Amino acid sequence: MKRTVTRLADGRELIYFDRRDDADRDVPDARELPPRPDASELRYDPLTEEWIAIAGHRQGRTFLPSAAECPLCPSGPGRLTEIPSPDYDVVVFENRFPSFSARSGEYGQAGGLSEVRPGAGRCEVVCFTSDHDSSFSSLSPERVELVMEAWIDRTAELSAIPGVEQVFCFENRGAEIGITLAHPHGQIYAYPYVTPRTRLTLAAAERHRERTGGNLFADVLAAEREAGVRVVAANEHWTAFVPAAARWPYEVHLYPHRRVPDLGGLEPAERAAFGPLYTDVLRRLDGLFGVAMPYVAAWHQAPVSTGRDLSYAHLELFSIRRAADKLKYLAGSESAMGAFVNDVLPEEAARLLRSVVTS
């Protein structure tokens, strides 16, 4: 793998990840860009003990441009984009409209009981391919390995930034999910706090260890593999299953068979085995109703400085589509109370996904 670091016209970092050692990425960004925005605000909600990012500058971010105006395609004659090179394999760059950044700003008090501080951290965009009309499910195993190398590289570097507490790699796919750019891409958030979901699961994992002496995530994986009824697919190093208490109509978790706190802990064989299984699961989702399935794919990794002995790196994938012509909206119970109601039996979801022919 060749790693090439450069800068965009406004000073943001851009990194090319190439399989070829002779890839030439010495192409400057010829655009004239406005100054980068200051960091967002973080406001503390004393009722839920959560931090909320207030990022007003994101209101002006690019929204569903045409393919001819896509900022994630390679640059070409008369068309300058976020990627200066005329081609690329995998690219990572700092988000132009970040929810968190290292830039400073002036922040006052919100009033009431809410503490305010800068939204320090970093947000990056990961372009999986230069092909605008492609998708992650159609990537070759070699390209998926390169994407994983980029995730691993960025997790390590972002974790080393002072003040960063958690690194989150994810992909949003589909207009129904709320994407703003259709080009195949994901994002990476470097949070200045441990996220609410991670705090909850690590607290549960700690209680489980006190009761049983075991690792909660490892025990969940072992139980699902033994039961088998919700397993969608598996290989030597990974298992994909629908969780017994799935919140979403079609939800699949992918676990490596060996516990590691983050992606950097995976061995080469484990990294190589991920792509074929994951793209198979994605093709099953697309084949379920014969339409491109909208989804969120979320890597759960250990925080930077806490809970690493409890964590178990894994991917959680879910879709809001519950039928060919129906979506699962987060209505009153889910949005207001955080109490999920799932319309699809998890065992039936797993059975349907297993029945999809992918080759």
CATH superfamily of the 214-355 domain: HIT-like (3.30.428.10)
257 assigned binding-site residue = no
132 assigned binding-site residue = yes
pLDDT in tens, the chain (359 residues): 999 999 999 999 999 999 999 999 999 999 999 999 888 899 999 999 999 999 988 888 888 899 999 999 999 999 999 999 999 999 999 999 999 998 766 666 677 788 898 899 999 999 999 999 999 999 999 999 999 999 999 999 999 999 999 999 999 999 999 999 999 999 999 999 999 999 999 999 999 999 999 999 999 999 999 999 999 999 999 999 999 999 999 999 999 999 999 999 999 999 999 999 999 999 999 999 999 999 999 999 999 999 999 999 999 999 999 999 999 999 999 999 999 999 999 999 999 999 999 87
Is residue 11 classed exposed, middle or buried when 0-12, 13-18 and 19+ CB atoms within 10 A define those classes? Answer: exposed
Return the DSSP state at 254.
E
**Number of helices (H) and strands (E), helices first, in the chain?**
6, 16
- Residues forming the active site: 185
57 assigned binding-site residue = no
For the segment(s) 2-193, the CATH number from 3.40.140.10, 3.30.428.10, 3.30.450.20, 3.40.50.720 is 3.30.428.10
Q: Please indicate whether the domains covering 2-193 and 214-355 agree at the CATH topology level.
A: yes
Contact 237, 273 (CB under 8 A): yes
Q: Which residues contact 113 (CB under 8 A, 6 or more apart)?
A: 46
Domain boundaries, the chain: 2-193, 214-355
Residue of 186, 187, 185, 203 whose CA lies nearest to 195: 203
253 assigned binding-site residue = no
